[in-house]
Chain A
């Protein structure tokens, strides 16, 4: 069974940093691009970033470019999101997601809550 488990969320002050982790199991992790998606309270879904199978290519949405960094460790079957210079508007539930063999994000983690507040 495919499983994604996020961790690392919590309360952080504006300007602070946080590193999210997503542990994957049940599939050959190194064969898939991986994504991070977030959802602010009461808002829609916002895709943040993805990373290629070997980490050699990454894409970011403008709202996090230069502040967030996606990375992966295929030996640990994990993908990470390093978040720096956090803002109040970064408060959200953060999900990692796995694509299928074609289009779409087929599997999602349960999410981890990040709250940016003083």
Chain B
């Protein structure tokens, strides 16, 4: 059972915006940097956001991250069919001394 909670699914039409929430606690999101990963089924996860709001090179600025208190949010603007994938938040948990992932959110482009 994950310590980070995400909505199971979100959807929107092409060109629209979606946001994905990640709810944690004071021992993880409240104290440490949050990352976000994109995973197309059958492939390895890919890092989208690190340090709460930074994008690795090659990740378009349509993807953004933010954090407030014990929650984090991933935003995707200008939604494209290629964005259909599963998205996971991740963060180190100071109390458990392990890295934890969110429950995952499936993004569907209508």
Contacts and interface: CB of A to CB of B under 8 A. Distances in A.
Interface of A: 35, 37, 44-47, 50, 59-61, 95, 100, 102-111
B98 interface: yes
If over half of B's interface residues share one DSSP class (helix, strand or loop), that class is named, otherwise mixed; here it is strand
A100 B2 CA distance: 23
13 contacts: A35-B99, A44-B102, A44-B104, A45-B101, A46-B101, A47-B99, A47-B101, A100-B56, A102-B54, A103-B34, A104-B51, A106-B50, A108-B44
B35 A104 contact: yes
B44 A105 contact: no
Interface in B5-19: none
What band does the interface of chain B fall in when counting residues whose beta carbon is under 8 Å from A? 20 to 34
A35 B45 CA distance: 14
Contacts of B63: none
B92 to A, nearest CB: 7
Nearest to B46: A108
A111 B102 CA distance: 20
Contacts of B37: 45, 105
Most buried by A among B39, B98, B103: B98
A110 B44 contact: yes
Contacts of B46: 108
A111 to B, nearest CB: 6
A79 to B, nearest CB: 15
Contact of B99 (A44, A50, A107, A110): A50
A103 B50 contact: yes
Nearest to B98: A61
